[in-house]
Amino acid sequence: MRSRFLSQLIGPITLLASAFCPLSQAAVQNRIASAVDGGSRTSLPGTIMSRARRSTDLGAAPADKKLESMSLRFSMTSAQQASLSQLLADQLNPGSGSYHQWLTPEQFGTRFGLSSADIAKVSTWLTSQGFTITRTARSSTFISFSGTVAQVQQAFGTSIHNLSLNGEPHISNVTDPVLPSDIAGVVTSIVGLNDFKAKPHLRARKASPIDPSQPLYTQTLSGVTSHYISPADFYTIYDENPLLTASTPINGTGVTIAVMGNTDLTSGNVLPDANVAQFRSAAGLPAINLKLQSAIPAGGSDAGVSASDVDEAHLDVEWSSAAAPGATILYVYSSNNIFADSLTYSIDNKVAPIITISYGLCESGWGTAMLSSYNSLLAQANAQGQTVISSSGDAGATDCDATGLATEGLNVDFPSSSPYVTSAGGTMFSGDVNDSAQYWNSNNGSNGGSAISYIPEQPWNETSGSGDSARGCRGRRCQRFLFKTTVADRFRCSKRLFPRSS
């Protein structure tokens, strides 16, 4: 009787255990049947960026030029893709045993990556071609490596050329690469065959002048009243003050926000950063808990401070920390490719539950192979419980255009268009247009704030001849000036516009 009773329990117990132990899965199967044979080769389509196609070809690139941020991004089988889609749905379903059961990078690799045997075969082949392995993903989803143009052309059967686009020098593959068929069957893309970078979404514009003797956030000069946004205004307008002043404050303490960067933050990355310190001091905030993390590949070079990227870096660090003044800000930086290095590092090492990135490129500009690879990376972030926030860009549906309107067709910005990303756009204040006194004090508080309450707003969409459309002040009609001579410069925004929080 006891034996029959136990046997009747085994089935239900097994089902219950499987329902609430979602992480126990069979190891992935080997997909490369034998040693790699270079005789049969297969092309990888969709690897040439549209910017390379639009460029002026200046001929072959120097054979000895080093490419530092290359990687083979592995594909998933159809069964793995279906399983991942189900997992992502289950992780958000309170009735599932997988609800909020976030994976580690290693657990992700066990279910959705390449087998260790297959990774060893790919690594062996790359090394045999003269490449240096710089990183193997904890998630078993990619292998990073470095090498010369000559090695790339020999191994991948492609041509790397010098190019010129809008007066800027670049290099890029001008033909799709080929791989041994055994390897091509497990690879989605080869990242790093060009040096085209995603662009920061910050745009500096001229705001109304200020009185340098009184650099206040609300001020009137020559009869024109301007309202410059401070963190205190953010707290008032979006009702964050009750959280910050609660008996147990909800201010980000204990949470890390990873800010993606493509430059050193200061010369030599020496902290504290005077710009960030000035921002916090002007806002009446305590010193920032800021940490730095290099995502530059092993053996790679640090290009130092990039003039075209450092203002975006400061702005993102400052406003992320302003929105969550008690949070730890981890600035993850690279020099060559913010997606291949900073973003990939942050996800593959699960450095923080929140990732913010203010760089992007129009969808068609990436090439289908790159889009697929980076969407898989972002899906991994979601499976690991990481929220990725991206700015949507200024150009609306004309994101590919360098000049004019929709000359390159209708395209939105990636990664904002990814289903695995929370895209932050922009708004413009509209309620205070005719009655400023209802929403703004004439004087500034001790922390610079002058907003009285929430201000009615609408989506920012002021298409101009330059193609700016549908975003908001963080890309923007609202921005910090490039010079930082006064306190107000730290929060300099044209009135009725508000920076998005990512």
H or E element that contains 232: helix 231-237
Is 498 a residue whose pLDDT tops 90? no
Measured CA to CA, the distance from residue 284 to residue 447 in angstroms comes to: 5
The region of weakest confidence among 342-351, 404-413, 489-498 is: 489-498
Which residues, 6 or more positions from 415, have their beta carbon under 8 angstroms from its beta carbon?
357, 360, 374, 378, 388, 390, 421
Mean per-residue pLDDT of the chain: 83
Measured CA to CA, the distance from residue 391 to residue 471 in angstroms comes to: 9
pLDDT of 482: 27
DSSP collapsed to 3 states, 439-491: CECCCCCCCCCCECCCCCEEECCCCCCCCCECCCCCCCCECCCCCCCCHHHHH
pLDDT of 17: 42
Which residues, 6 or more positions from 479, have their beta carbon under 8 angstroms from its beta carbon?
202, 203, 204, 205, 207, 315, 473, 492, 493, 499
Per the CB < 8 A criterion, the answer to whether 150 and 11 are in contact is: no
Is 493 a residue whose pLDDT tops 80? no
Measured CA to CA, the distance from residue 304 to residue 301 in angstroms comes to: 9
pLDDT per residue over 241-251, tens digit each? 999 999 999 99
Residue with tokens 């059961």: 101
pLDDT of 459: 76
Q: How many CB atoms lie within 10 A of CB 365?
A: 23
pLDDT of 204: 62
Per the CB < 8 A criterion, the answer to whether 167 and 174 are in contact is: no
Alpha carbon distances (Å) from 383 to 7, 90, 91, 492: 36, 10, 8, 38
pLDDT (mean) for 150-179: 96
Confidence of residue 492 (pLDDT cuts 50, 70, 90): very low
Q: How many CA within 13 A on the CB side of residue 183?
A: 29
Two tokens, residue 99: 């609800």
Per the CB < 8 A criterion, the answer to whether 454 and 409 are in contact is: no
Is 124 a residue whose pLDDT tops 90? yes
Confidence of residue 188 (pLDDT cuts 50, 70, 90): very high
> What is the percent of the chain where pLDDT is above 90?
60
Measured CA to CA, the distance from residue 67 to residue 64 in angstroms comes to: 9
pLDDT of 447: 86
Is 390 a residue whose pLDDT tops 90? yes
The more confidently predicted of residues 7 and 99 is 99
The region of weakest confidence among 106-115, 182-191, 361-370 is: 361-370
The region of weakest confidence among 32-41, 353-362, 480-489 is: 480-489
pLDDT of 472: 32
Confidence of residue 445 (pLDDT cuts 50, 70, 90): confident
Is 355 a residue whose pLDDT tops 90? yes
The more confidently predicted of residues 476 and 157 is 157
Among residues 436, 433, 426, which one has the least CA distance to residue 471?
Answer: 426
Q: How many CA within 13 A on the CB side of residue 341?
A: 31
pTM of this prediction exceeds 0.75: yes
pLDDT of 485: 29
pLDDT per residue over 241-286, tens digit each? 999 999 999 999 999 999 999 999 999 999 999 999 999 998 899 9
Confidence of residue 184 (pLDDT cuts 50, 70, 90): very high
Is 293 a residue whose pLDDT tops 50? yes
Confidence of residue 35 (pLDDT cuts 50, 70, 90): confident
Per the CB < 8 A criterion, the answer to whether 455 and 433 are in contact is: no
pLDDT of 207: 58
Is 364 a residue whose pLDDT tops 90? no
Helix then strand then coil, in percent of the chain rounded to 5, is 30, 20, 50
> What is the percent of the chain where pLDDT is above 70?
81
Is 8 a residue whose pLDDT tops 90? no
pLDDT (mean) for 82-110: 97
The more confidently predicted of residues 450 and 5 is 450
Alpha carbon distances (Å) from 220 to 227, 397, 443: 9, 37, 10
pLDDT (mean) for 441-467: 77
pLDDT (mean) for 439-448: 86
DSSP, residue by residue, 13-62: HHHHHHHH-TT--PPPPP---SS--TTSEEE--S-S-HHHHHSEEEEEPP
Alpha carbon distances (Å) from 164 to 51, 55, 56, 157, 282: 10, 5, 5, 23, 43
SS3 181: helix
Two tokens, residue 19: 């329902």
The region of weakest confidence among 150-164, 194-208, 223-237, 379-393 is: 194-208
Measured CA to CA, the distance from residue 122 to residue 266 in angstroms comes to: 38
185 phi and psi angles, rounded to 5 deg: -70, -15
pLDDT (mean) for 389-418: 76
Alpha carbon distances (Å) from 298 to 265, 341, 493: 20, 11, 40
Is 187 a residue whose pLDDT tops 90? yes
Is 332 a residue whose pLDDT tops 70? yes
Among residues 127, 144, 126, which one has the least CA distance to residue 135?
Answer: 144
Measured CA to CA, the distance from residue 13 to residue 9 in angstroms comes to: 6
